[in-house]
Chains A and B, each alone.
Chain A
């Protein structure tokens, strides 16, 4: 029983990271209808920037994360301005190819600057904690609590602030939002900023456990795509729920089926969903 709860907690941890990444992805998709294939690179860069801030500049963990979030948020904005904005009228094919180009560029860049080795990220939360008779590292606890905190913050931001409302408006009806005077360019940039920051945060939280290496964005991003298809492309609650569902499935799958192939669980889910409903699980009204 305890073992089971341990697995559940594990799933919660993994799910939190997935949710953060999926959130960034779904927000961008919601307003621009672009699946940002370069999101994994933002995640990866987030990890590296945090690492560099800590090791080269000797900054404390939290400060490094904040800086990373700002840097990667800005990188996201650059991505939007320089790549996605020029391609706004092009066939959707082009967005994807361009994003893949950026993805591979950033990976090569990371390898060039930091080398291809797996690097560890030190954290002040390495202590082992005893909670209700279960042992877990404080890092895992941190991941779970930070994610929940961020989600609450995001919720209030989207629902209660004016800027948040503009994002929701744009995701529901881009033309309409434009017509009522919302500056869709600014909203796009803001959304990418948030998206990038979330990715950086997720990477920084997960890296002490998962290490930092140029390919670290791959699996995460593919799973994030599965999550948003599962939860509904553009749906914020969907990304969160989907993230945790996947996290739990993987955690349980890794223990009870096979650790090597646990990554395939996400894709099996994807195949099943798309076989039954080729348009994805939750189709928004008006979209077909």
Chain B
């Protein structure tokens, strides 16, 4: 009970801080950076739902981020649609494509799923790159509008955009929270634990996996659409594997399969990236090995590690209170759940 209250207090503090941030640090550059990291967080939450909670690592999510972004761009600039309609449609269209991909992909396992989604991601990148007339190809896509007004509220300033993106982030976190702590969330975790066992206890794994897949893509596309409207310029490289890699490292550093992992990981890594800005294109020289080392030695990530430590402590306390000596080391299966 106490643990839950503490968690909620930390969350409340974090939200308060996020809300007050523009007032505390009225610096447009930092505001821009925070807003951008919020966008990445939304995308990472999408990935987390599928990889962290359902156990399926999709390597196509960067592609869907790009689809969300480009669809918004095309619908607003080329088709001249109302911004928010275009925004909504971008997410829906991207999710629909995700649905079609998922129908095939989710019947495969492990390696095949990874390879298949890797290929899908690359196809998306290729199509964006080559289909000049629609996407602008290598030259890029410019002139994407900022979010349109909602009633009297306009979103032309950095501060207003910050709050808009924060709003979506909080919405996504809220939905994730509701899902994870419900029967649906438990179902996903059961699938991640052992799909065989899940089938044995009557779970319609294909249906649940598909829902999880589409929803995760919905979140990631949402992030993509926000990105397009925030940065207002797109290039094919936002669908490239390095973006996929970024999402992965944010998730892993923060803690895959945890509620706050995406926030912690993204903030940490983007700030480190900032410090290493001088490396620019070569940041992979440092980040590549970091990711590899992380996955080998510490796949739990920051939040995962904290949770593990807390659980061990509670177990030890309980055992010492009851006077028993636990004969089983909890270190055993440490690496199993990544």
Q: Are A90 and B299 in contact (CB under 8 A)?
A: yes
Q: Are B126 and A102 in contact (CB under 8 A)?
A: no
B285 at the interface (CB under 8 A from A): yes
Q: A93-B57, A94-B338, A278-B107 are in contact. Are A101 and B282 (CB under 8 A)?
A: no
Contact with A along B313-338 (1 / 0, CB 8 A): 00000000000000000000001111
B151 at the interface (CB under 8 A from A): no
Partner of B130, one of A98, A108, A109, A261: A261
- Would you list which residues of chain A between 186 and 206 have a CB under 8 Å from chain B? none
Q: Which of B17-25, B86-94, B221-229, B289-297 contacts A (4 or more CB under 8 A)?
A: B289-297
Are the C-beta atoms of A104 and B108 separated by less than 8 Å?
Answer: no
Q: In the bound complex, do residue B248 and residue A222 qualify as a contact, i.e. CB atoms below 8 Å apart? A: no
Cα separation A218 to B284 with both chains bound (whole Å): 16
- Report the nearest A residue to B125, measured CB to CB: A218
- A101 near B119: Cβ-Cβ < 8 Å: no
Is A89 in contact with B292, judged by CB distance below 8 angstroms?
no
Q: Is the CB of A274 within 8 A of B108?
A: yes
Interface string of B224-256 (1 = CB under 8 A from A): 000000000000000001101100110010000
Compute how far the CA of A279 lies from the CA of B111 in the bound complex, rounded to whole angstroms: 10
By beta carbon, the residue of chain B nearest A95 is B295
* Whole-angstrom CA separation of A218 from B121 in the bound complex: 12
Is A122 interfacial (CB 8 A cutoff)? no
Contact B288 A108 (CB under 8 A): yes
Known: A100-B245, A100-B248. A225 touches B118 (CB 8 A): yes
Q: Are A97 and B122 in contact (CB under 8 A)?
A: no
CB 8 Å contact bits of B74-99 with A (1 = contact, 0 = none):
00000000000000000000000000
B40-84: which residues lie under 8 A (CB-CB) from chain A? 51, 57, 59
A233 at interface by CB-CB < 8 Å: yes
Question: In the complex, are the beta carbons of B122 and A233 less than 8 A apart?
Answer: no
Contacts of A102 in B (CB 8 A): 288-289, 292
Given A92-B110, A107-B284, A229 and B295 contact (CB-CB distance below 8 Å): no
Q: Chain A's interface: helix, strand, loop or mixed, by majority?
A: helix
Q: Is the CB of A104 within 8 A of B245?
A: yes
CB pair A111–B111 under 8 Å, yes or no, is no
Give Cα A97 to B122, complex, Å: 16
Classify the secondary structure of B's interface with A. Answer: helix
Chain B: number of interface residues, binned into ranges: 35 or more
**Chain A CB within 8 A of B153 CB:** no
Identify which of B107, B126, B245, B338 contacts A101 (C-beta below 8 A).
B245
Give bound CA distance, A280 to B127, whole Å: 25
Contact present for B338 and A90 (CB under 8 Å): yes
Q: Are B296 and A94 in contact (CB under 8 A)?
A: yes
How many A-B residue pairs lie within 8 Å, measured between CB atoms?
A: 134
What distance in Å separates the Cβ of A288 from its nearest Cβ neighbour in chain B?
A: 10
Distance in Å: Cβ of A231 to nearest Cβ of chain B: 14
B9 at interface (Cβ–Cβ under 8 A)? no
Q: B306 contacts the other chain (Cβ, under 8 Å)?
A: no
- Chain B CB within 10 A, most for which of A100, A225, A226: A100
Asked if A282 is an interface residue, CB under 8 A from chain B, the answer is no
B159 within 8 A of A: no
Contact A98 B292 (CB under 8 A): yes
| Minimum C-beta distance from B241 to chain A (A) | 7
A97, B291: Cβ atoms closer than 8 Å: yes
Q: Is A112 an interface residue (CB 8 A)?
A: yes
Task: Evaluate contact between B122 and A87: CB separation under 8 angstroms.
Answer: no
Known: A108-B282, A108-B283, A218-B122. A91 touches B296 (CB 8 A): no
| A112 and B282 contacting across the interface, CB-CB below 8 Å | yes
CA distance A222 to B115 in the complex (A): 8
> Hey, which chain A residues are within 8 Å of B119, CB to CB?
222, 225-226, 266-267, 270
- Bound CA span A250–B335, Å: 42
Taking CB as reference atom, which chain A residue is nearest B289? A105
Further contacts, 8 of them, CB under 8 A, given A87-B295, A101-B291: A33-B111, A94-B295, A96-B57, A97-B57, A100-B245, A233-B111, A263-B126, A279-B108
Complex A-B, nearest 9 residue pairs according to Cβ-Cβ distance, in ascending order: A105-B288, A108-B284, A101-B291, A101-B292, A278-B107, A98-B292, A104-B284, A278-B108, A98-B295
B residues with a Cβ closer than 8 A to A are 51, 57, 59, 104-105, 107-112, 114-116, 118-120, 122-123, 126-127, 130, 241-242, 244-245, 248-249, 252, 281-285, 287-292, 295-296, 299, 335-338
Chain A residues in the interface with B (C-beta under 8 A)? 33, 35, 37, 83, 86-87, 89-94, 96-98, 100-109, 111-112, 116, 218-219, 222, 225-226, 229, 233, 260-261, 263-264, 266-267, 270-271, 274-275, 278-280
